[in-house]
Structure 1
Amino acid sequence: MVPTMNNQRLSLSLFFFLAGFNFASWTSRIPTIAGSLKLNEAELGSILLTMPISSLIGLPLSGWLVTKFDSRVPLTAAFLLNAVSLSFIGFADSSLLLIMALFLFSLSMRIFNIAVNTQAITLQKQFERKINGSFHGLWSLGGIVGVGVTTLLVSLKVSMVPHLLAVSVFSVLMTLITSRFLLRNDRSTTGNKLSFRKPDPAIVYMGLLVFFAAVCEGGMFDWSGIYFQQVIKEEVFTSGYLIFMSFMALSRFISDRIIDRIGMARTYILSALLIFSGITLAIVFPTFWPAMAGFSLVGFGTASVIPMTYTLAGRSTKYSPGVTLSIIVTYGIIGMLIGPPLIGYIAHAFNLRVSFILFAFAGIMLIPVSQMFFRLQKEA
């Protein structure tokens, strides 16, 4: 039986949700892991380098897989590995084992992300209205539920091992049930060969947009809990992460309407101003409610940047959607390679409040880069 468009959308939506849930289950446990392994900011930053390095290794593999197979094949296999490696993180009782678990987790997540976004871009073309933002909204919603579950379990003093193991088992079962409804026969037959002679300026600009968004988004994932624990002195340290994810989800569910109303160019500017304002508020007033308000602004501002840029990538006339995504996601991985660890090193040298200035800078850089991209499009 060939799945209908609505079944395909529902199945894909579930995978976006589960991916966000799993990722938040890991990141919201970072303070727990740092405490149990007695890691300082610099040591934690160094361990977090494992994820972007692993992602870079996985990029050429993921790009090759989506050109050789229907995207549902690497999507399903990668998510099964991602779910299993999440439980390995829970069992890691040394820095070495944690690095190994994070390597597998990040490698599988990279392959999954390319495959699932290739599916989303292809499915988007079959719908008259924009739906890509809602997929990413479901990722954020999954993150909210993941953080909420973690917050509840932390308050109930449930340890990390049964928590992550239960999430892993649930994800495996849902993958086996849902994967048969994914989009089929979406492998591109053209635009699969990379050219290194002359970089496409449009793709470079899109890559830079993803780079700066990744610095903000990835850094907030990794450090928002630590910020609330060490700077805000909040015992339930997931509060900041939860408000960030909540407003990110809200923004992604309404981003398609915002884009239709004011256009992509102005939406990038709005996103940049919200990120800069939110980070500044949290730095200048390091108390609970101002920080909560600041993190909510950052979440709302960051949310639409990557879905918008992925939608633009799907319009590329030079490469297939899977290959274009592989290129611009490379920039995002470099952002995650530089951003979160750099926050740890700056925090160790000065303090965590000073290190968060990096997010404000990355956010405001979205304005000039996006304007250069749309100026190039207009000239073309």
Structure 2
Amino acid sequence: MSNPIASPASAHVVVITPMRRAALPLLFLLLGVIYASWVSRIPALRDNLQLDPASLSLFLLGGGIGAVGSFPLAAWLVGHYGARRASWYAGLMLLLSIPCLALAPTLPLLMLAMLCVGAFSSCFNVAINTLGAEAEKLAGRSIMSQLHAWFCVGTLSGALLGSVVAGMEIAPLVHFGLIAACVAIPLRLCYRALPNDRPQYIAGKKHFALPHGPLIALGVVAFGGAIVEGSVADWSGVYMKDRLFASDGVAPLAFAFFAGMMLLTRIVGDRLKEALSARRVVAGGGLLAGIGMLIALLASQIPIAIVGFALTGVGVATIFPFIFSAAGRHGPTALAGVTTMGYTGGLIGPPLIGFLAHGFGLPAALSLVGVLCIAVALAASRARWLE
């Protein structure tokens, strides 16, 4: 009679199902859909509460504070429960918090809702990028740009959907509620498909630390890249509407094309990295992003401005996947620390643009983003761990 207990060799056989293959890219896609869904409705949220640029900056500041403040929690969740379980916990709380943006009747409550969105988004982001860094190690080749391309698929889809929904004058609450309900099912399927990675508990283990040594250079590039990406995402629609008089349905197209070109660039990003090195690709991208912002700010026609934002998307596309890949090689603690610096840029950038716009006008404020693109290029050229 055969032995019912599997041999050691057979015990390690892992069946890779189609859902398991799709789970990690799908998590990046879902994050993009969620992010673009609320970003595309910023003009509507602003109009509902009659916010001026300074008040809108305070709203965005709430998200940045939540994101930066949550990174010790994100690192602890990944270190204590594993990236798979952390992505499920954070993703579920993110879906519950999104509709609260549309329910908030006052600016303080809107800021509180945005703080929760920022916190749970960052926890989810750290978890799935940790999963991506581990998958890249197992694959033995660069795959992070492709994973972030799926995030762009999500942001492009979410932005286009947001444009359609806004054009149909559907209320943000209905929009956000439907997004949360539709995303919850694939989020659960991804969690069940991914392998259990819960780490072994080690007493006194440190799960979070700010970047030090050569990691600081990676953090600086992430810091600048986050300001550029966040400022375009949060302010391009407002710029299109207020400066070029775009309609509610057309205004989100600036971000949609920005996200679309990021997607196309990230699809080929890993090949560019192997051919030219990550450092050259990110530095060249920073210069291109600066040119794109210049075109967008000098444009007097809506299509030309959209082209400028699209070029900016090409330029910044490889910053985060290559930075996260480089930091992830040094473990989740290094990844969380570098990501903290990146999200600190996301904290400072969009609100700073709002405060400058309040005093000097939005075009002058966004010109700072173009200058920062050049600074990112210079910093990337000196980041020796960005390989």
Q: For each residue in 1:304-326, what CA deviation from the matched residue of structure 2 results, as whole angstroms up to 9, or x when unmatched? A: 1010011111223xxxx211111
Deviates more, 1:133-142 or 1:175-184: 175-184
For residues 250 and 265 of structure 1, the distance between their equivalents in structure 2, rounded to whole angstroms, comes to 19
Match of 1:261 in 2: 275
Q: Given the superposition, is the C-alpha separation of residues 29 and 184 from structure 1 closer, same or farther in structure 2, using an over 3 Å criterion?
A: same
Larger Rg: 2
Match of 1:193 in 2: 206
The structural deviation recorded for 1:217 is: 0.5
Residue 206 in structure 1 maps to residue 211 in structure 2: no
For residues 283 and 271 of structure 2, the distance between their equivalents in structure 1, rounded to whole angstroms, comes to 16
Q: For each residue in 1:225-272, what CA deviation from the matched residue of structure 2 results, as whole angstroms up to 9, or x when unmatched? A: 101111121112112111111111111111111112221121022111
Conservation of the 8 A alpha-carbon contact between 1:3 and 1:182: no
Deviates more, 1:204-213 or 1:254-263: 254-263
Q: Secondary structure at the match of 2:383?
A: helix
Paired residue type of 2:136: Q
Match of 1:173 in 2: 185
Paired residue type of 1:265: R
Match of 2:301 in 1: 287
After TM superposition, list the pairs within 5 Å mapping 1:241-252 onto structure 2: 241-252=255-266
Identity of aligned residues (%): 27
Which of 113, 120, 125 aligns to 1:101? It is 113
For residues 19 and 194 of structure 1, the distance between their equivalents in structure 2, rounded to whole angstroms, comes to 24
For residues 271 and 368 of structure 1, the distance between their equivalents in structure 2, rounded to whole angstroms, comes to 11
Structure-2-length-normalised TM-score: 0.91
Q: For each residue in 1:78-105, what CA deviation from the matched residue of structure 2 results, as whole angstroms up to 9, or x when unmatched? A: 0011011112212223223212221211
Paired residue type of 2:354: G
For residues 135 and 281 of structure 2, the distance between their equivalents in structure 1, rounded to whole angstroms, comes to 23
Match of 2:131 in 1: 119
Q: Given the superposition, is the C-alpha separation of residues 39 and 105 from structure 1 closer, same or farther in structure 2, using an over 3 Å criterion?
A: same
Q: Secondary structure at the match of 2:214?
A: helix
The structural deviation recorded for 1:73 is: 1.1
Deviates more, 1:224-233 or 1:98-107: 98-107
Which of 67, 70, 73 aligns to 1:55? It is 67
Match of 2:3 in 1: none
Q: Given the superposition, is the C-alpha separation of residues 3 and 28 from structure 1 closer, same or farther in structure 2, using an over 3 Å criterion?
A: farther
After TM superposition, list the pairs within 5 Å mapping 1:1-380 onto structure 2: 4=16, 7-185=19-197, 187=199, 193=206, 200-235=212-247, 236-316=250-330, 321-374=331-384
Paired residue type of 2:325: T
Paired residue type of 1:119: L
Paired residue type of 2:125: N
Unaligned runs of 5+ in 2: 1-12
The structural deviation recorded for 1:149 is: 0.9
Q: Given the superposition, is the C-alpha separation of residues 145 and 200 from structure 1 closer, same or farther in structure 2, using an over 3 Å criterion?
A: same
Paired residue type of 1:349: G
Conservation of the 8 A alpha-carbon contact between 2:279 and 2:380: yes
Q: Secondary structure at the match of 2:138?
A: coil
Q: For each residue in 1:16-58, what CA deviation from the matched residue of structure 2 results, as whole angstroms up to 9, or x when unmatched? A: 1111001100000000000111001111001110011111221
For residues 234 and 158 of structure 1, the distance between their equivalents in structure 2, rounded to whole angstroms, comes to 18
The structural deviation recorded for 1:367 is: 2.4
Q: For each residue in 1:163-199, what CA deviation from the matched residue of structure 2 results, as whole angstroms up to 9, or x when unmatched? A: 1100011112222222111232263889953797x96
Q: Given the superposition, is the C-alpha separation of residues 106 and 304 from structure 1 closer, same or farther in structure 2, using an over 3 Å criterion?
A: same
Report the number of matched residues: 372
Paired residue type of 2:362: L
For residues 188 and 306 of structure 1, the distance between their equivalents in structure 2, rounded to whole angstroms, comes to 29
Q: Given the superposition, is the C-alpha separation of residues 7 and 202 from structure 1 closer, same or farther in structure 2, using an over 3 Å criterion?
A: farther
